[in-house]
Every structure is written in C-alpha cells, then in structure tokens.
Amino acid sequence: MIPRRKTRQVSVGGVLIGGDAPVVIQSMTSTYTHDIDATVAQIRTLAEAGCELVRVAVPEKRDTEALRSIIEQSPVPVIADVHFHFERALEAVEAGVHKIRLNPGNIADRKQVDRVIAACRERSIPIRVGVNEGSVVERKDKGLRAEQQSGLGGDYRGEMIRLMVAAVEQYMRLFDENNFHDVVISAKSIDATMVVDAYRAISERFDLPLHLGVTHAGPPETGRIRSVAALGSLLSMGIGDTIRISYAADPIYEVDDAKELLCSLSLRNRVEPELIACPTCGRIEIDLIALTAAVRKKLSTIKTPVKVAVMGCVVNGPGEAEGADVAIFAGKGKGIVYVQGEQKRTVAEADMLDALYEETVAFAERVERGEVTLGHGRVNIAPPDPLPRADGSVPLPVVRE
C-alpha cells in the first residue's frame, strides 16, 4: 500500500474529509426526498450499517422544503445533490444542509455558481464538484458539442478523461476567484480503468480531497466487481478520501461493501465479525455453501470483530484457518470447533451452526471483558485426526511435523 496522499481537509457537519482523517463512507437515499418519513427511515438504516454521510436528491422545491425536518432527525450529516437548478442549492443551504454537490455539466452559469459559493461561504458549507462521464459533453453550444463529439470519435477514452479533467479545472477557477477552498472533487465513469486514470490525473493537479465512485455501476452482482476494481486500485495508490459504491439496488449493500473494501485494505478497523471460508472442492462432504451463509447471518448479531473460519475439511483447513479466533473443520457427519487453537468440542453436522455460534458469542464476551485478545498472533492449530468418509475410508492423510 502506498501512503495516503495528503489533501486539504474539509468538515461536513463535523465529519472530517481529507488530511489525516479516515476514508469516509457515503451512500445515497433511494426515496423521494419530499417523503420525509421514508427518507429519514432509510437514512437511519444506512447510519446503523456504518454510513457516515448520506446524500439526498433535491430535484424539486418540495424536496428542499423537506430538508429542514430531515436534517433535524438525521443521525449523520446530509448532503444535497443538486443537478439542474441552482435555486435548489440556495434553498438547501437555507435549510441547513451540511454539504452541496454541484455538477459542472449541468450548472455552469458564472453568476449562478457565484451565488451558491457565497451562500456556502456564509454558512461554512463545503461543496463537491462532481463531474460525470454522462454529463461532461457540452449540451447547449451545438458547435462545441460537435467538436467534442468528433474528438471522442477518435480516442473516446483518452478524450473523455481530458474533458473531465478540463471541466474540473475550469470549474475550480470559479472557486479560486471566489477564494473558496472547502471543496471536494469527484470524476466518475462507468469504465473502471477510466475512473482510475481520471482520478490519478486530478490528484496530480489538485490537493483537494477526492470523493471516489463509479457511476452507473449496475446491480451488486456486477457492480461490486467494477467498483472494487476502480476504488480498490485508487485506494491502494493512496488516492481517495471518501467513497460511495453505487448500486442499482437497496443502498444498504453499498455501505456493507464499502466497509468490507476499506477493512480489506486495512484502511478501517473492523467492528463486526470477519468471516472466512474455504473454497468448495472435491474433499468437502457437507453443504459448505449453506453452512457459510447461515453462519454469516448468525454472526450479524455480534458486535465484536472476531475472526471466524468455516472450513470444509481437515486437510488444508487447519493451516488456512490459522489466525482465526474461532474455527470449525467439518467432515462427513460431524465437525470440530476450535477457539484460538484450542480444540473445544466435536459436534454432529446438525449442531455445527449452533456450536460455532455459541463458541463465538462466548469468546466475544470474553474479549469485551478484557480476558482475551483478538488476533494476538498466528494461532497454530494442530490438525485433528482425519474424519472418515461414509464408506469408512480416510481422506488424504494429515502430515504432522
């Protein structure tokens, strides 16, 4: 991992972005913002899952009219997403929103931008300049639009990145001339490699914090791969101060996956159990997929970052689970439960889930009482004797040192 790039720091309702602050997780509500009860309910759900900033759409005046009540009830800072009407930004500021998102491709009039900047300066409200691949091409000036589209026809990827960076640079001149620097930048595309290159180019030109994201990523099944490819690459380069993983689905999945990404890159400490499981293979003699899914669901009730391993055999399982706080090695008809390397019990297949959960809860409680330490080093698990197959034969022998 490359050390994180140092950026200016901004405060969004008390949540710090940039500087030495941890990477911040964002999401966006999928409700109509003017539906106050539904919007507040979803914000609370996202916050409970670990979301730290929530963005809401404000396309209409009735949406900004609802903001004051939403903000009063929200457990996290609220960001107003403004697209086509600068008046919505002014109304959001008046309502007490904690941050404004502007799109240079949609609001480019100098006087309008100046008014938004002035309003945000008066209330110390940051602004995110969000450039998207889908809105960066000129729409009103037909001559300029034709010129840009002609360039895109030759080298779409390279020219699109150039247009995105140029749009940010042009917009940022307005902020510089207004001596306003509480700004966050984003440059999103559906193409993961384009996202990486665009953010790298922007990070070389500005010391402002960057909000990472892949736009129109799709459903979680495909969108998480596209998003992790781009965001994981950038974060590994030390680029990025806040992220949103965007899905065409319930935004709760965005928060879950963003947390996992940051934890996997050691950019955030886990606050919930970590589950590892071996891949399926011909040695497995239980329904490992079903067991793993059931374990994952049960672990959601635990709020201690215990590392739990579910292994489908006793051949490679012990070695692969070293370092796990609680582990189960399953064979035909039964499984063996370990807690930090100590064999605790052997249970029937039907009791595996409950036994693993009980031992995990008990271990988590000991952690909370300060009696044991999580992941205090590699745990050397002595492999148990191989569990026989149904026909009486024994799997591959366990080699002991």
Position 202 confidence tier, pLDDT thresholds 50, 70, 90 = very high
Are the C-beta atoms of residues 129 and 171 closer than 8 Å to each other?
A: yes
Asked whether residue 374 is domain-assigned, the answer is no
Judge if 70 and 23 occupy the same domain. Answer: yes
pLDDT value at 119 more than 60? yes
Q: How far is residue 274's CA from residue 359's CA, in Å, rounded to a whole number?
A: 15
Domain match, 187 and 284 both: no
Could you tell me if 259 and 282 lie in one domain?
Answer: no
Same domain, 293 and 338: yes
pLDDT value for 9: 96
Comparing 272 with 322, the larger pLDDT belongs to 272
Domain extent, residue 330, equals 274-368
Residues 312, 216 within the same domain: no
Rounded distance between C-alpha atoms, residue 5 and residue 19, angstroms? 8
What pLDDT digit, counting tens, does each position of 151-190 carry? 677 788 888 888 888 888 988 898 999 999 999 999 988 8
Among 264, 288, 308, residue at a domain's last position: 264
Task: Specify the pLDDT at position 110.
Answer: 83
Residue 4 has which token pair?
């994180």
Place 401 in a pLDDT band, splitting at 50, 70 and 90: very low
Return the CATH number at 245.
Answer: 3.20.20.20
Give 39-66 pLDDT, tens digit per residue: 999 999 999 999 999 999 999 999 999 9
- 55 and 200, same structural domain? yes
**At residue 313, does pLDDT exceed 80?**
no
Residues 251-271, mean pLDDT to the nearest whole number:
93
Whether 225 has a pLDDT exceeding 70, the answer reads yes
215 and 320 share a domain?
no
Confidence check: pLDDT of 377 > 50: no
Q: What is the DSSP string of 190-245?
A: S-HHHHHHHHHHHHHH--S-BEE--TT--SHHHHHHHHHHHHHHHHHTT--SEE--
**What's the total number of domains in the chain?**
2
Query: What mean pLDDT value characterizes the chain?
Result: 87
The distance between the two most distant Cα atoms of the chain, rounded to a whole number of Å, is: 83
Of the ranges 144-148, 303-307, 379-383, the best mean pLDDT one: 303-307
The pLDDT confidence band at residue 394, using thresholds 50, 70 and 90, is low
| 217 in a structural domain | yes
Tell me, yes or no, whether 389 lies in a domain. Answer: no
Same structural domain, 192 and 321? no
pLDDT surpassing 70 at residue 121: yes
**Domain-embedded: residue 301:** yes
Asked whether residue 84 is assigned to any structural domain, the reply reads yes
Tokens of 189: 């595309």
State mean pLDDT over 214-223. Answer: 86
Q: Is residue 398 part of a domain?
A: no
Q: Is 186 helix (H, G, I), strand (E, B) or coil?
A: strand
Average pLDDT over residues 292-309: 92
Q: Are 177 and 222 in the same domain?
A: yes
Q: What's 354's domain CATH number?
A: 3.30.413.10
Question: Measured between alpha carbons, how far is 10 from 41 in angstroms, rounded to an integer?
Answer: 27
Q: Which two tokens stand for residue 242?
A: 């806040």
Alpha carbon of 160 to those of 89, 132, 156, 192: distances in Å?
27, 10, 6, 13
Q: 105, 131 in Cβ contact below 8 A?
A: yes
Q: How many CA atoms lie within 13 A of 45 on its CB side?
A: 15
Q: What percent of the chain has pLDDT over 70?
A: 88
Domain assignment present for 362: yes
Burial class, 135, CB count within 10 angstroms (exposed 0-12 / middle 13-18 / buried 19+): middle
Residues 236 and 300 reside in one and the same domain: no
Pull the structure tokens for residue 254.
Answer: 């965005």
Q: Which tops the pLDDT comparison, 211 or 172?
A: 211
In the structure, what pLDDT confidence band is assigned to residue 32 with cuts at 50, 70 and 90?
Answer: very high
Q: Are residues 89 and 179 in the same domain?
A: yes
pLDDT band of 396, cuts 50, 70, 90: very low
Residues 253 and 287 placed together within one structural domain of the fold: no
- Is residue 383 one of the residues assigned to a domain? no
340-367 average pLDDT score: 91
Range 219-246 average pLDDT: 94
14-27 pLDDT per residue, tens: 999 999 999 999 99
Report which of 92, 98, 30 is spatially closest to residue 65, judged by C-alpha positions. 92
